[in-house]
């Protein structure tokens, strides 16, 4: 083990010293949790600065980590996230959210991209059972913020 109470307590030094001792599957799962915890901290800072490029990078990396290390995505969701990300480009991000092995895709994107996202998803995406995706546009309220 890593000798910590929670994986969020693993720093880079400890991970480099002891991460390699873990079983390969356990190591990949732990790497996702550790790296996603770091991404959450970086995402909060990027949101405070309004840095959509950094937000997008972090969201993409989070999705890739869920896919490659945690192995909880499915091809349909991977495809939908990639489709939305292609529309957004580097000014926002898309990733799976929800319980895993299905779920949905959340995207942070400029308002100006919404119509193109809707049109692209309607034209190019169908779930494995043939259903079209639903796009729900939301906006943060004045009460949204960082909890510590």
Would you list the domain boundaries of the chain? Answer: 7-124
pTM: 0.88
**pLDDT for 140:** 76
Residue count of the chain, please give it.
148
Select from 102, 103, 105, 74 the least CA-distant residue to 92: 105
3-class SS string, the chain: CCCCCCHHHCCHHHHHHHHHHCCHHHHHHHHHHHHHHHHHHHHHHHHHHCCHHHHHHHHHHHHHHHHHHHCCCCHHHHHHHHHHHHHHCCCCEEEEECCCCCCEEEEECCHHHHHHHHHHHHHHCCCCCCCCCCCCCCCCCCCCCCCC
Domain 7-124 superfamily per CATH: GHMP kinase, C-terminal domain (3.30.70.890)
Above 80 in pLDDT, residue 101? Answer: no
The pLDDT tens digits of the residues spanning 22-80 come to 999 999 999 999 999 999 999 999 999 989 899 999 999 999 999 999 999 999 999 99
**pLDDT for 125:** 95
**pLDDT for 67:** 97
Above 70 in pLDDT, residue 144? Answer: no
């Amino acid at each position: 083990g890593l000798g910590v109470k929670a994986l969020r307590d693993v720093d880079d030094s400890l991970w480099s010293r002891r991460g390699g001792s873990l079983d390969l599957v356990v190591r990949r799962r732990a790497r996702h949790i550790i790296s996603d915890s770091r991404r959450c901290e970086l995402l909060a800072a990027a949101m405070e600065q309004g840095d959509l490029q950094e937000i997008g990078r972090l969201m993409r990396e989070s999705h890739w980590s869920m896919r490659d290390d945690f192995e909880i995505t499915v091809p349909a969701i991977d495809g939908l996230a990639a489709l939305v990300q292609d529309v957004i480009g580097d000014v926002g991000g898309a990733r799976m959210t929800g319980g895993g092995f299905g779920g949905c895709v959340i995207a942070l994107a400029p308002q100006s991209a919404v119509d193109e996202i809707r049109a692209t998803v309607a034209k190019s995406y169908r779930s494995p059972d043939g259903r079209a995706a639903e796009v729900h546009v939301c906006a943060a309220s004045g009460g949204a913020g960082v909890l510590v």
